[in-house]
Structure 1
Amino acid sequence: MDVSNWLRPDAPTSDERLFCHLYGRGDRKTDQFIPGWQYSFVAALETGRTSWCALLDAVRLGLADDATLVTAAQLREVVGRLITAGHWKPGDPKILIVMDSGYDVAYLSHALAGLPVVLVGRLRSDRVMLRDPGPARSGPKGGRPRRHGGVLAFARPDTWHEPVFCPGPAPRPARLRSASCPAPAPYTCPGAARARRHHRHRHHPLRQGRHKGLGTGCTPGSPTAAPGWNTRR
């Protein structure tokens, strides 16, 4: 699952063009915003060591579209077509959907509830999560129980969980070391996702997931590589 830009700066008479963000080389000051169209596409990867893929669906994002809502509707339609065509049957492993860090995996897991899918999304290294509040209990003066617990900041190792799975250092420095732990709820600023506010409840049910941090050993090219994070819901 991803979004690709079709740049058309030379088509001033074409309607519904967006400013597509392009990353610059070396320095973020060289980033550019070029007129064009954005397409949300779903591709199926083959098994084994191959880079071949089959494009299953593509939707053009409009000026007023919310990318998360379009993604939810697009995935639900694609999964429905796969089930109708007989590519997935009851008893088969769930369909694995992989997406980049720009997607709201927590909301998509809520929107795609009931489908045989597992969502895996990459997380930014500066994300902040809120832990499980633990047993339901009120404060000394009463009131509603807490909805969230403490803070888990990816950039602060002192706030991390005790991992439930950690294989330890790898014998070769270039290999990955992983640590897996239950996924807390993502922290969202009060003004975020205003366009989706009327599409969901103010407090939709929390869905459990799992976070995994991947870190490399001390390699010559990157002696202090930061761990990469992903979430699975």
Structure 2
Amino acid sequence: MHNRRNSLSQQVIETVGERIRSGRYGPGEKLPTEHELIEEFGVSRTVIREAIANLRAGGLVTPRQGVGVFVSETPFTQPFVLEAGGGGVLAEAVAVLELRIALEVEAAGLAAARRDGETLKAMGRALDAMDLAIAAGGEAIVPDLAFHRAIASGTGNYHFVNLFNYLGEYLVPRSRLNTSALAQESRGDYLRHINDEHMRVYEAIEAGDSEAARGAMRLHLVGSKERLAQGAG
């Protein structure tokens, strides 16, 4: 279902993007409403919102609170768009983890150097929520995302937050794969292992130790990559 939603979202992105580039939707012009786009494309609200978030990340559109979504005044810079490669879902998940390593290791270091109480509280809430989700037998995707989003916010650099929000569920491989099976662990053991790694990142950020935070985040993400690579071999 998730792959189908991504495919539908990509269709909306390509169609609306082409209309902007061709001038059908001119700079500063308001896009059709969310409801109109849902009717036109025959897709869900979630698909439309994901497409708009992608177009926004690419600099093509600008939402205005309570007014609508508008074509950017200078929309023709080359946008960054995360697209599936040709190697399948597993290869894509590994590729996204490599991107995350490059970004989130430094984000952890910055969050440690600039640590504040709100960041630590948000991380702590996410750790607790993940423990509860694991105990309930869930996948704990939402608290996992919340933990990493708190670190992105803790950098004090909104570009990290914007890119994090753009990537969304791409950040969590188990939203598309049975990662515990690939790692040859029970789901509960697999998720507890992940949250133990989160805790080490939290402790380093709490201590204000940037190098330790970078190291803990690298171990976490490289470990995730290696667990996926087991299934690719």
TM-score normalised over the length of structure 2:
0.28
Report which of the two has the higher share of strand: 1
Q: Find the structure with the greater CA-based Rg.
A: 1
Q: Greater relative contact order (Cα 8 A, min sep 6): structure 1 or 2? A: 2
